[in-house]
């Protein structure tokens, strides 16, 4: 990457500090920032997130981060979205009666429909099955457990975007990947050794400049 700076985007996300600590643990030196200039100069970006889509989008707009983030992603540099950081990339979320998101990836976040024996929110450990090889999943066996906390799940119109999938009420794409963009529905920072390995893989991949693995769906511009 052009710069070794890993920026964790600061919009008051609840998991902001735990994400930064996880990145430090795997050898990165993350900078927590809401400064658009830092985003523009970043070598890699992590967009964390917990909570509601409406609050997330309000904060991103309030801090004038929407345009810098969309321009950064369009530039083809490494980007990792986590939980709400995934939902923010979609076109829309059903949460709160409907919320327009960044529109980077073609899809929506939909609420789980409660079923007998399945609680909403989906909270706890669940498996992720890899659908293809990717640098961020290297060394992590398919079917590994990761920690989830969410009431809404992503759907995408292009199946090629799905890197991993999870079953809970429905089977949904729990990891999306396109070009140098990756996003997880689960929380790697709460997912023990496999989560730390994913962060380590992301940082190594960002630094190495390795080519994007095929197939790779196009990111909306």
Domains within the chain, CATH numbers bracketed: 6-208 (3.40.50.880)
* pLDDT, tens digit, 9 for 90 and up, residues 169-206: 999 999 999 999 999 999 999 999 999 999 999 999 99
Burial (CB < 10 A; 0-12, 13-18, 19+), residue 91, is middle
Yes or no: say if 220 and 74 are a contact pair by the CB < 8 Å rule. no
Q: What whole-number distance in Å separates Cα of residue 13 and Cα of residue 7?
A: 14
Phi and psi torsions of 106, nearest 5°: -80, 105
Residue from 83, 95, 108, 122 carrying the catalytic annotation: 83
Residue from 95, 108, 189, 200 carrying the catalytic annotation: 189
Average pLDDT of the residues in 71-86: 96
Residue from 87, 134, 150, 187 carrying the catalytic annotation: 187
Share of the chain above pLDDT 70, in %: 95
Q: What whole-number distance in Å separates Cα of residue 152 and Cα of residue 76?
A: 27
Q: What whole-number distance in Å separates Cα of residue 174 and Cα of residue 128?
A: 7
221 band by pLDDT with thresholds 50, 70 and 90: very low
Distance, C-alpha 55 to centroid of its chain? 17
pTM above 0.85, yes or no: yes
187 classed as catalytic: yes
pLDDT at 3: 64
Share of the chain above pLDDT 90, in %: 83
Average pLDDT of the residues in 124-131: 98
pLDDT at 116: 87
User: Chain-wide mean pLDDT for the chain?
Assistant: 93
- Smallest CA-to-CA distance from 80 within 130, 146, 6 is with 6
87 classed as catalytic: no
- Smallest CA-to-CA distance from 48 within 15, 92, 87 is with 15
pLDDT at 215: 57
- Residue 217 or 31, more confident: 31
Residue 106 has pLDDT above 80, yes or no: yes
Burial (CB < 10 A; 0-12, 13-18, 19+), residue 27, is exposed
91 classed as catalytic: no
Q: What whole-number distance in Å separates Cα of residue 136 and Cα of residue 131?
A: 13
Tokens of 126: 């669940």
């Amino acid at each position: 990457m052009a710069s070794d700076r890993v920026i964790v985007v600061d919009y008051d996300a609840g998991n902001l500090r735990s994400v930064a600590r996880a990145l430090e643990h795997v050898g990165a030196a993350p900078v927590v920032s809401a400064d658009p200039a830092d985003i523009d100069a970043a070598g890699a970006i992590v967009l964390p997130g917990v909570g509601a889509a409406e609050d997330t989008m309000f904060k991103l707009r309030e801090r004038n981060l929407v345009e810098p983030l969309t321009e950064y992603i369009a530039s083809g540099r490494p980007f990792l979205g986590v939980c709400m950081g995934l939902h923010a990339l979609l076109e829309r979320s059903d949460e709160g009666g409907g919320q327009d998101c960044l529109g980077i990836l073609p899809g929506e976040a939909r609420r789980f429909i409660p079923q007998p024996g399945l609680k909403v929110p989906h909270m706890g450990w669940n498996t992720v099955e890899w659908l293809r090889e990717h640098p961020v999943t290297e060394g992590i066996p398919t079917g590994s457990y990761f920690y989830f906390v969410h009431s809404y799940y992503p759907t995408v119109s292009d199946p090629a975007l799905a890197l991993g999938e999870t079953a809970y009420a429905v089977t949904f794409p729990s990891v999306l990947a396109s070009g140098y963009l990756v996003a997880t529905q689960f929380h790697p920072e709460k997912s023990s050794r496999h989560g730390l390995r994913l962060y380590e893989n992301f940082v190594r991949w960002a630094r190495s400049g390795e080519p994007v693995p095929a197939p790779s769906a196009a990111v909306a511009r």
